[in-house]
Amino acid sequence: MSVPVKRIVDFYLAKEERTSTVWLNLKDRLEKKLVSLRKQNDNPNLTDVETATLRGHIECLKEVISLGDEPPAMVAAPARPAPRRDYGAQYG
């Protein structure tokens, strides 16, 4: 079994881009294509290579569609519990 493709860099559309007419039309077309590819993938007569190719296309479409998802909330890194020690003052 292959490992799913993971994003190298997180990229999301801005709120204005996600609500634009162009994105909504594009997303609708991509979702229709995704349904079509999933139906093709259900064909029992496909070879292993054809099945893998279709699954790759499906994964790619899902990644493009996910660009319109709400980005995850930004979380600040945990703060340092105490200030750094001044070793210069300690060891002269």
pLDDT score of 48: 93
Domain assignment of residue 91, yes or no: no
* 5 part of a folded domain: no
Q: How many CB atoms lie within 10 A of CB 37?
A: 17
Phi, psi of 35 (to 5 degrees): -60, -45
Is 41 contained in some domain? yes
Q: Is residue 8 part of a domain?
A: no
Residue 50 lies in a domain: yes
92 residues of the chain, pLDDT tens digit each: 566 556 545 778 888 999 999 999 999 999 999 999 999 999 999 999 999 999 999 999 999 998 888 877 777 766 667 777 777 766 65
Total domains present in the chain: 1
Q: Which domain holds residue 39?
A: 32-67
pLDDT, residue 84, reads: 72
Task: State residue 70's pLDDT score.
Answer: 84
